[in-house]
Amino acid sequence: MTHAGLSKVWAMVLAAVLAAMLLSATITTGARAQEPCTGQVVLDPGHGGTDSGAVNTKYGLTEKEQNLDVAKRVKTLLEGDGYSVCMTRTDNDTTLSNNDRYTYANSTGARVLVSIHMNGSTNTSTDYTTTLFGKWRKDKELATAVFNSLSTLPAAGGTGTIATRTPYSFASGVLLKSEMPATIAETVFITNDREGQLLSDGTGTRQQQIAQALRAGIEDYLKTH
């Protein structure tokens, strides 16, 4: 084989090795690489990909899809108010570990991280809103600000406001290893029968109510910190 032929073979081998390394990295993280982003707020739609989160089988709802729907609405609202926003995932096919989430968040230089979730219970009448924090000094004020705004959500049953549970500490890597103040917002119970009706009615009204409450809490915090 000529020198030129050997060079071509080695080039092909090197290309194959690099491709294998990239494939291995993708498999290791279980996620497609998110585009680099610099923003004031990181929104983390909980679950995704092979992890559906809580499910309401009666109304065909998965938490991963509802979390992303609400997150996209929050992003639009915040950007309309002049804030720059990054998201840990933008589709329902991406599977992310906690490490993926906080590593990405830390790369953005953001001021806050809000992980958006919906709760679940075997009791279809259970419904309340709450937020979680990791470190008291770092996270609790953000968790409280978001909780205060979520507490104004109309009750799914149509009378008064949603029931609440006081924000509490939770040892999640997303909260503990993020460099910025962070909170997990357990917005509503997707398994609640009335919430299921509202979330699946095709109008997007309930999702928008949740998004507006999250936006208000995030902005209240950012305006004072």
Is-contact 182 101, C-beta < 8 A?
Answer: no
Report pLDDT for 32. Answer: 52
Q: How far is CA 114 from the centre of its chain?
A: 7
| Phi and psi angles of residue 204, each rounded to the nearest 5 degrees, phi first | 75, 5
Tokens encoding 206? 């309930």
- Give the 3-state secondary structure of residue 172: coil
pLDDT band at 6 (very low <50, low <70, confident <90, very high): very low
pLDDT digits 0-9 by tens, 187-197: 999 999 999 99
pLDDT digits 0-9 by tens, 39-91: 999 999 999 999 999 999 999 999 999 999 999 999 999 999 999 999 999 99
pLDDT of 123 above 60: yes
pLDDT of 164 above 70: yes
Residue found by looking up tokens 């279980």 in the block: 30
Is-contact 38 81, C-beta < 8 A?
Answer: no
- Distance (Å, rounded) from C-alpha 144 to C-alpha 221? 9
In this prediction, residues 14-26 reach a mean pLDDT of 41
Q: What global pTM score does this model have?
A: 0.86
| Phi and psi angles of residue 42, each rounded to the nearest 5 degrees, phi first | -110, 125
Tokens encoding 165? 């549970």
pLDDT of 127 above 50: yes
- Distance (Å, rounded) from C-alpha 68 to C-alpha 106? 20
Q: Which amino acid belongs to residue 122?
A: T
- Distance (Å, rounded) from C-alpha 172 to C-alpha 115? 11
Could you write out the DSSP letters of every residue in 61-75? EEHHHHHHHHHHHHH
The DSSP symbol for 210 reads H
pLDDT of 139 above 70: yes
Q: Which residues pair with 117 in a beta bridge?
A: 186
| Phi and psi angles of residue 74, each rounded to the nearest 5 degrees, phi first | -65, -45
- Distance (Å, rounded) from C-alpha 4 to C-alpha 143? 63
Residue found by looking up tokens 């809490």 in the block: 217
